[in-house]
Structure 1
Amino acid sequence: MKETLIDVRAWRQFVAVAEELHFGRAAIRLHMTQPPLTQAIAQMERSLGVVLFDRTRRRVALTPAGEALLPDVRDFLERAQALPVRARAAAAGEVGRVRLAFVSTIGFERLPEWVRDFRVLCPQVALELVEATGDVQRAMFARGELDAGLVLHSPGAAPPELARLPVAEEPLVLALAERHPLAQAPRLDLAAVLAEPLVIFPRRIVPSLHDAIFALYHAAGRVPVVAQEAIQMQTIVNLVWGGLGVAWVPESVTQFRREGVVYRAGDAFAAKAQSKAGATPPLPVCETSLVWPAGLNNPALARFVDFVRERSAAA
């Protein structure tokens, strides 16, 4: 059976008559004459195949069907009235959805603050969060499953096919077990550190940063001895605690306070290993960037990008 659509004006007329229970008063309220209103209600009943009002010369009353319909029609009209405002809010990025992936390092401190403050600023934008490494994020972008991502990389090595906003730069620090002999040294010799077994993430996760760490070893004339690979930074730190080796991790990982693991920053090294050319190899740094498909038309995403840009500049 084909359903008949009834326009918003007719539903408003129905509500007016239902609330006034008088066609004359309802017509005055609607700024119209009574005969067209009477005809409109009769046409609505014919279209629905349902009698909505009992009419006598003395009274007008809602039928059970009319009473059942009234709350839904009121809700429908309220929603219809809000549609222009919602449309303008959506165009301004105040309403919508942002599917955001992130790497664990940004999730230790900055991301929770951003999510909290952005929800206060734009409470009608839904942030859908998923933790994912850079390689997983690129695959999700290719499938259209993400609006934006926070990725880790070496400076300037963000995915070139995506628009990019740098949000943080931080040095790598050394994670080692508290019981490790080097952990007790007041100053660390980089050459001794580079001789230790290494716990590191697979190259496919963050190729640029993996290569930067290996370059540190090669510049000092050493080949890294990889004891174990692990994807998540928390797992890497736990493996360090277990005595499998040392690890170079972003400074933000120090927020993960694993008992039995200590972190040593660059200023803890007494003397850096010399490269074959005699120069001192620098300790690597890493960047975190917000990335998204260029040209993507999502006002809510644009609002989120502007928000992150302001927060990053302030930081």
Structure 2
Amino acid sequence: MDLRQIRHFVAVAEELSFSRAAERLRMTQPPLSQSIQALEETLGVRLFERTRRRVALSPVGADWLAHARRLLADAAALPGVAQRLARGDLGRLRVAFVSTADYSVLPDLVSRYKAGAPDVEVSLQEMTSDLQVEALLEGAIDVGLVIPPSKAGLHPTLAYRRLIIEPLVAAVPQRWLASGRIRPKGGGLRLADVAAEPLILFPRRSAPAFHDLITGYYALNGATPLFGQPAIQMQTIMSLVSAGMGVALVPQSLENLGRAGVRCLKLDGAPPRIETGLAWRREDKSPTVARFVAVARRR
């Protein structure tokens, strides 16, 4: 069975005449009759009821006609589908992101991408940077919004583009400010004001670059962090701060979360700055990935 036979069947079914169908198909009647007979033999069913005076669809043929029409319509659309896939207008894209990106680059980036490729199926998955690197190398995701390691730590098969650099701010329990446990001066905060408080932070294995940035900042200021409850999601960190479990140093964009019971204060002096960027496989030729990277480059 092939598309030619399906077209023959639809023509005869719509014309209910072999002669008119042959004329429509620009062929003679004997080859058309042979084609329909071969199709029926292949299917093992009778599609038409024939008499000398008329041709009618069998019950099976009448029901099968809609399926045949859909098949021909899908076949006619295939070249256009291939072209849309090649342009990145169609397909799927698997995006992973660190929790901090949810409040900075992710919404705008995905929104602009979907505006240009509304028919691409985009799946989003929150994932720590270390797991994203593994997922990229294994082909489990297509692109990742990560807090990068040092350039020397980037896997050679991965490409990377910086998207944002922002300062860290101190997230402190609102109740501590109200009680005077923490006393910022001039709207800012010195690290010394909170250095003795429990520090809520990602475990180093989950976010080594972020972890090292903060512990390095403590060391630079002559302080040693007192580690409190660890957490692997930024929303959880902010919830623990709200509960009075400690303080956290978080990207400034986390102020957009508006977590009740938490106040974000600027750090005096030269606060550490955190970078978030896009990672993808260098050899990935997927048009949807190329299009997403192009959108990121225009940021």
Normalization by structure 2: what TM-score? 0.91
Q: Deviations over 1:117-164 (max 9, x none)?
A: 433321221111111111221232233211111112467577333111
What's 1:261 paired with?
262
What's 1:41 paired with?
36
Pick closer, same or farther for the CA change 1:87–1:76 going to 2, 3 Å: same
What's 2:204 paired with?
203
1:88 Cα deviation after fit: 1.4
The yes-or-no answer on 1:302 pairing with 2:290 is yes
Q: Distance in 1 between matches of 2:189 and 2:115?
A: 45
Pick closer, same or farther for the CA change 1:122–1:92 going to 2, 3 Å: same
Pick closer, same or farther for the CA change 1:49–1:241 going to 2, 3 Å: closer
Q: Distance in 2 between matches of 1:157 and 1:175?
A: 31
What's 2:166 paired with?
170
1:250 Cα deviation after fit: 0.7
Q: Runs of 5+ in structure 2 lacking a partner?
A: none
Aligned length: 293
Contact 1:177/1:183 (<8 A) preserved: no
Q: Distance in 1 between matches of 2:190 and 2:115?
A: 48
1:84 Cα deviation after fit: 0.9
Q: Distance in 2 between matches of 1:53 and 1:69?
A: 11
- Over the matched positions of the two proteins, sequence identity in percent amounts to 45
Q: Distance in 1 between matches of 2:243 and 2:155?
A: 37
Contact 2:159/2:281 (<8 A) preserved: yes
Pick closer, same or farther for the CA change 1:222–1:110 going to 2, 3 Å: closer
Contact 2:173/2:261 (<8 A) preserved: yes
The yes-or-no answer on 1:248 pairing with 2:249 is yes
The yes-or-no answer on 1:290 pairing with 2:278 is yes
The yes-or-no answer on 1:150 pairing with 2:145 is yes
User: Bigger CA drift: 196-205 or 156-165?
Assistant: 156-165
1:166 Cα deviation after fit: 1.4
Contact 2:112/2:295 (<8 A) preserved: no
Structure 1 residues 214-229: aligned runs within 5 Å: 214-229=215-230
Aligned residue type for 2:280: W
What's 1:10 paired with?
5
SS, match of residue 232 in structure 2: coil
Q: Distance in 2 between matches of 1:80 and 1:189?
A: 67
Contact 1:151/1:289 (<8 A) preserved: yes
Which of these residues, 85, 89, 93, is aligned with residue 90 of structure 1?
85
SS, match of residue 193 in structure 2: helix
1:175 Cα deviation after fit: 0.5
Which of these residues, 132, 137, 146, is aligned with residue 137 of structure 1?
132
Contact 1:158/1:164 (<8 A) preserved: no
1:93 Cα deviation after fit: 1.3
Normalization by structure 1: what TM-score? 0.87
1:174 Cα deviation after fit: 0.7
Pick closer, same or farther for the CA change 1:304–1:201 going to 2, 3 Å: same
SS, match of residue 83 in structure 1: helix
1:45 Cα deviation after fit: 1.5
1:35 Cα deviation after fit: 1.8
Q: Distance in 2 between matches of 1:50 and 1:246?
A: 75
Aligned residue type for 1:10: Q
1:176 Cα deviation after fit: 0.6
1:102 Cα deviation after fit: 0.7
What's 1:190 paired with?
191
SS, match of residue 215 in structure 2: helix
RMSD (CA atoms): 1.9
The yes-or-no answer on 1:58 pairing with 2:53 is yes
Q: Distance in 1 between matches of 2:60 and 2:239?
A: 66
Q: Deviations over 1:79-129 (max 9, x none)?
A: 011111111111121111111111111112542343334333212211111
Contact 2:183/2:193 (<8 A) preserved: no
Q: Distance in 1 between matches of 2:183 and 2:91?
A: 50
User: Bigger CA drift: 11-20 or 204-213?
Assistant: 204-213
